[in-house]
Structure 1
Amino acid sequence: MGIRKPVLAGCIVAAALCASGAACAASSVELYGQVDAWMGAQKSPGGYDRSWTQGGGGMSTSYWGLKGSEDLSGGWHTVFALEDFYRPQTGSMGRYDGDAMFSRNAYVGLQSDTLGKVTLGRLTTPYFVSTILFNPFVDSYTFSPMVFHTYMGMSGQGIVGDSGWNHAVMYSTPSVHGLTANVIYGFGNDENHSGQNKWGANALYFHGPFSATLAYQRVDFDSTPGDLDNLAPGFRRQQAAQAGAAYDFGWAKLYAQYQYIRNVISGGDVTMNGGQAGVSVPLGGGSVMASYAYTASGGASDVKRNTWALGYDYALSKRTDVYAAYFLDKITGLSHGDTFGVGIRSKF
């Protein structure tokens, strides 16, 4: 997430309150984020022309955030975060026009040193976290094959419900010998669709060079209850499961993921079955990254998608890196698409 720096105004206010006796519990507020911009060219599968572009979010979506905590004593803390995506190529708020200001995260909650954490608000889903931690291109919506196969699917529709859920509550366990778990529930908040909700969970294990994850989620709507019919007639719900693992040998880190998605549709279910294999190799002060993802749909649809990417990321400092990458994408029945470019990312 980058190097954290206290927000001066927050510290001044907290110091003044404590000096006056109004508030003396230990508290902190931090400003953090990253800026990522790239330039290159893109061609979508089935497209005819290559578009030369200067864009944002080559390796990571740009965002900024405020987060804080207050010590309530006895091992308890209040926590909060407000995080906003933005597009450095235009200075616009959000990932796209109409995206909410704090669409990355907006929550408040309680955390115990021994019992875990409960948060409420808009929350990043455990499924998204498992997806990005076990592929070498992490959360890149420009160059990561696994992100494309998971969130763009076979023809622009993969995981529904977004990478963050509104009206959500999540419980996160403390770490026990490297094992943690998260459970999330998203309310529909619509009296006309009281039975519609979203829920999911994941488990994460980190021990030395080995790490692994299991994730599952079920959603009954995309952004508002009753809206799945807008994506496909008769679309009722989606279930998704994923397993991932990685092992760091030092000279190379290997990644692997498997994923199964089932769209329950009255006219015939559509399934997506596939996975990703990747590697990152330290080289010359940076790392070479390679990833391949494959997904085949079944049921009422029969489409295959093959995607691979190759890139190099070089660290200029602890906070800034430059990168170059090439991405090739092929979907059944369409001419291949590709993306290539160079970019820079700075964290703060």
Structure 2
Amino acid sequence: MKPMFKRALIAAACLSTVLSSAARADDVELYGLVDMFTGSQTAPGGNRAWVSESGAMSTSYWGMKGSEDLGGGLQAVFALEGFFLANTGAAGRFTGDDFFARNSYVGVVSPTWGTVTVGRLTTEAFLSTIIFNPFVDSFTFSPIVLHTFIGVNGQGLIGDSGWNNAVQYQSTSFGGFSANAMFSFGDSTDFSQHKWSAGASYYHGPLGATVVYQDVKYNNVADDLTPGMTGQNAVQAGVSYDFGVVKLYGQYMFVNNSINTGNLKVNTGSGGFSVPLGGGAILADYAYSKSNGAATQSRSTFAVGYDYHLSKRTDVYAAYLYDKVTDESTGQTYGVGIRSMF
């Protein structure tokens, strides 16, 4: 072996040892999830398409997070998390999505006073939506996720599932109760286009409940999805109870859209359950939305599925979704998928 090559191998080995030690000392973790689905999709009013795509039950993502002991019980924390399309290898949920669109923050944690984080942060409304429905964060099969974040004609929430330029406070838990608040400075050139939210939650034994309020300002700048929209405020509540043989879920959301042509108010409700069966679970959920004001439209969606766990990290699933919007042909999606965590 040539001396130069030998020295290079020794240097590489030393560097690997140093980096490994640093990662352990700083408690840095690499993690993620890969989800692939094959089946048929038809959006309301659309045509059927046979697909093999990423993220039907959970959006595929990867991330790294870490913490450092600052003394006195304080910890510095950070997380960098990005979505990707497993079927193409492309970064993001769609073309043009930010690289770390899932989360990108740094903060400080106190066991007494709570947690403060700054950066791009997942909203409390999104967390409330995915926690209190059996299909969790599925943008393909969860009726309430579709109604809340893929709403038709202004029926859903605006502002994405994560907010840029945000500051968040999360309290510690007191007897199962906790509170949170978030403020986003919006566009760096126009402070008036800000967003804010506040909420509270309760978790004790089989019972979980939450309520979240959020307000989004646009300063007379039309939203891409609803022309003429200048702002939106919404309140959302969720509840779940686990009886062991069945877990029940329920949500309600009221949305008030401020639009140049007149306000649009939307009421949305959902109910669902999961039943453990044969190493997996039967899932079912229903959501209904109705809007009144500048436009009147209703949407009715239900889904059923079965999720089977091959191991602690890998599961396979089969699901069907029916989606009906006023004056549109029926949408239907069905197929099978596999999901693996790392």
Contact 1:42-1:52 within 8 A present in 2 as well: yes
Question: Cα gap change, 1:175/1:247 in structure 2, threshold over 3 Å: closer, same or farther?
Answer: same
Residue in structure 2 matching 1:334, options 324, 328, 331: 328
Q: Which residue of 2 aligns with 1:312?
A: 306
Question: Cα gap change, 1:285/1:302 in structure 2, threshold over 3 Å: closer, same or farther?
Answer: same
Alpha-carbon offset, residue 189 of structure 1: 4.1
Q: Which residue of 2 aligns with 1:86?
A: 84
Q: Which amino acid in 2 is paired with 1:241? A: V
Alpha-carbon offset, residue 229 of structure 1: 4.6
Q: Which residue of 1 aligns with 2:230?
A: 236
Q: Secondary structure of the equivalent of 1:87?
A: coil
Alpha-carbon offset, residue 54 of structure 1: 0.2
Question: Cα gap change, 1:11/1:210 in structure 2, threshold over 3 Å: closer, same or farther?
Answer: farther
Contact 2:104-2:121 within 8 A present in 1 as well: yes
Bigger Cα displacement from structure 2, 155-164 vs 83-92? 155-164
Q: What is the number of equivalent residue pairs in this alignment? A: 330
Q: How does 1:141-290 map to 2 (within 5 A)?
A: 141-155=139-153, 158-191=156-189, 193-221=190-218, 227-290=221-284
Q: Which amino acid in 1 is paired with 2:232? A: Q
Contact 1:123-1:164 within 8 A present in 2 as well: yes
Q: How does 1:10-49 map to 2 (within 5 A)?
A: 12-13=17-18, 27-47=26-46, 49=47
Q: Which residue of 2 aligns with 1:103?
A: 101
Question: Cα gap change, 1:305/1:10 in structure 2, threshold over 3 Å: closer, same or farther?
Answer: farther
- For normalisation by structure 1, the TM-score amounts to 0.90
Structure 2 CA distance, aligned partners of 1:16 and 1:315?
34
Question: Cα gap change, 1:159/1:229 in structure 2, threshold over 3 Å: closer, same or farther?
Answer: closer
Larger radius of gyration, structure 1 or 2?
2
Q: How far does the alpha carbon of each residue in 1:111-170 deviate from its partner, in whole angstroms, 9 at most, with x for none?
A: 111111101100000110001000000000000000000011124762111000110000
Contact 2:254-2:265 within 8 A present in 1 as well: yes
Question: Cα gap change, 1:40/1:266 in structure 2, threshold over 3 Å: closer, same or farther?
Answer: same
Contact 2:147-2:155 within 8 A present in 1 as well: no
Q: Secondary structure of the equivalent of 1:130?
A: helix
Identity of aligned residues (%): 55
Q: Which residue of 1 aligns with 2:7?
A: none
Gaps of 5+ in 1: 1-8, 19-24
Q: How far does the alpha carbon of each residue in 1:30-86 deviate from its partner, in whole angstroms, 9 at most, with x for none?
A: 001100001000011112x31100011111000000000000110000000000000
Question: Cα gap change, 1:15/1:138 in structure 2, threshold over 3 Å: closer, same or farther?
Answer: closer
Structure 2 CA distance, aligned partners of 1:156 and 1:343?
31
Bigger Cα displacement from structure 2, 325-334 vs 265-274? 265-274
Contact 1:130-1:202 within 8 A present in 2 as well: no
Structure 1 CA distance, aligned partners of 2:15 and 2:94?
30
Alpha-carbon offset, residue 12 of structure 1: 4.5
Q: Which amino acid in 2 is paired with 1:87? A: L
Q: Which residue of 2 aligns with 1:293?
A: 287
- Superposed CA RMSD: 2.1
Q: How far does the alpha carbon of each residue in 1:231-279 deviate from its partner, in whole angstroms, 9 at most, with x for none?
A: 4443110111111100000000000000111101121101110210000
For the pair 1:136 / 2:134, whether they are aligned, the reply is yes
Q: Secondary structure of the equivalent of 2:115?
A: strand
- For normalisation by structure 2, the TM-score amounts to 0.92
Q: Which amino acid in 1 is paired with 2:87? A: Q
Q: Which amino acid in 2 is paired with 1:281? A: V
Structure 2 CA distance, aligned partners of 1:233 and 1:325?
34
Q: Which amino acid in 1 is paired with 2:78? A: F
Alpha-carbon offset, residue 230 of structure 1: 4.1
Contact 1:26-1:71 within 8 A present in 2 as well: no
Structure 2 CA distance, aligned partners of 1:238 and 1:284?
44
Q: Which amino acid in 2 is paired with 1:163? A: S
Contact 2:249-2:271 within 8 A present in 1 as well: yes
